[in-house]
Amino acid sequence: MTRVESIGRYPDFMTEGSPPCSQVDPEMYFPEKGGSGATQYEFKIAKKICRDCPYQAACLTWAIENNELGVWGGTTERERRDLRRQRRR
């Protein structure tokens, strides 16, 4: 199963383009909760893949607008929550 198939609803760039994240295990972008060392390592790897992605800005916008879980646009849920708070100020 590809990442696109696993998330159900998804932004257009996921099907029209070929983002780097679609080539790796989706579990990397949606690690188990708990903040273990392994989870933090997965987040770092996922964010590193996002860093050079041509869809990063669109992905981040999608995640903010849709309150997505996991790593999107090179950010974690907590980082996006902080971005939403900053935008409201």
pLDDT at 8: 53
Three-state secondary structure along the chain? Answer: CCHHHHHCCCCHHHHHCCCHHHHCCHHHCCCCCCCCHHHHHHHHHHHHHHHCCCCHHHHHHHHHHHCCCCCECCECHHHHHHHHHHHHC
Confidence of residue 34 (pLDDT cuts 50, 70, 90): low
Which range marks the domain in which residue 46 is found?
A: 3-88
- pTM, two decimal places: 0.76
pLDDT at 82: 94
Number of domains within the chain: 1
- Cα–Cα distance, 66 to 51 (Å, whole number): 21
Confidence of residue 3 (pLDDT cuts 50, 70, 90): very low
Confidence of residue 28 (pLDDT cuts 50, 70, 90): confident
